[in-house]
Structure 1
């Protein structure tokens, strides 16, 4: 599973960052839907909802709401929230860059990633980044250059969840990084749960017992 460390950041946890639009409660959104008539992403090869996942033998770290693949030779870093001492994010660090996969509550009709992606692009440009937008296998993809760091964002609209993946790494690895990111996102399993929650709410991350114990020992 790799080496477990701790990092901190001050960025907003919402999928669109600090400029994300106000949340809208989806608790009353119980209408049936047809995937072909909504903004849900086509994901025949993944990522999968927990209800559709099969036992494929791929090693994953179980973070509760998301089960994320950990490739051979990669490391796992746990980012703590300094405000409450909880877990803010878990990163998979590869040779091509640091990958973060996060789940969020979304409308049944899908389409959240299109809005979030547009907001991310605006935010990155406002921060001075060079941003390019293209289309990938799940829809919108964003590329950005911030100083010496190359970023790639992908998003997937699932049933009442949105999955966002990002890889941040050196520009020298920018040509290989997107494929590594897509492979990890493709094999991620999302367990949103049934409870209603406001749209854009980050899905709760829980650590495996061994990882939580390791961090507790470091803190002690």
Structure 2
């Protein structure tokens, strides 16, 4: 599926870039680098998918998925409606989940959120955490026990299952590494949760790091309480694909977003 390019002149009107930069808290953004605020005049032009609050770069080998939180269930308990709460980018053996939150005008929230994440991992998930310095400032690296149920093993590619030692399978779980990256921007906060090979493989991480730097956050002017998720919407291309499938199926009830349908991806 081909996607149109979002050009710089198509950006929503916002307050001048100088004001946004002056009001922003200290961030992990390098001078002249992203992630970007939509109000900045220096946002590099490239092909991005427009999810409302987030504009996510796409290119060869990249697949983009929406993460939905169910809000309604049918009589059998199956989710039939929900809202988009995150965007996940998949590249090779790695994935990066993106979320944008509202933040105060002159104070970042990453330091606070990082402490809460560490407590959640160690106390609730019985995992391990360590703070490290990365290209965007302080990161949180975690190891959490992930269940290895028969269903999980069955869904794994055969070559991956063969690499799991039998004693790990016998104990019923394996340690899953996670990497939490956060950037405080002007009245917004962008978080990335990295899983897969890029957590420990520098070459695969570099690909996701470069992509993360090209994400654009559209904060909007409306007042919002800190930590509230910025609204995410389906790109026009995806809405057209869903509408087309709905017309072909002749289903008056529309498409269940929790069932597999048109994918938002670009793989070359």
TM-score by length of 1: 0.75
- Whether 2:68 is the aligned partner of 1:80: answer yes
Deviation at 1:140, TM superposition (A): 1.4
**2:69/2:84 contact within 8 Å kept:** yes
- Shifted more, 140-149 versus 192-201: the winner is 140-149
Structure 1 residue ranges without an equivalent (≥5): 3-31
Instruction: Choose between structure 1 and 2: higher helix proportion.
Output: 2
**Please, what is the CA RMSD of the aligned residues?**
2.8
The residue number in structure 2 matching 1:109 is 106
Of 10, 31, 38, which residue of structure 2 is paired with 1:50? 38
Deviation digits for residues 91-113 of structure 1 (CA, Å, limit 9, x no counterpart): 11111411112111001123201
Relative to structure 1, the CA distance from residue 213 to residue 82 in structure 2 (aligned partners, 3 Å threshold; closer, same or farther) is farther
Residue 196 of structure 1 deviates from its aligned partner by 0.6
SS of residue in 2 equivalent to 1:181: helix
Q: Does 1:134 align with 2:132?
A: yes
Higher alpha-carbon deviation: 191-200 or 94-103: 94-103
Are the structure 2 counterparts of residues 38 and 67 from structure 1 closer, same or farther at C-alpha, using a change threshold of 3 Å? closer
Match of 2:90 among 93, 96, 103: 93
Match of 1:125 in 2: 122
Pick closer, same or farther for the CA change 1:214–1:175 going to 2, 3 Å: same
Distance between the aligned counterparts of 1:63 and 1:194, measured in 2?
17
Question: What pairs with 1:142-181 in structure 2 (closer than 5 Å)?
Answer: 142-146=140-144, 147-170=174-197, 174-176=200-202, 177-181=204-208
> Is residue 49–residue 159 contact of structure 1 (8 Å, CA) maintained in 2?
yes
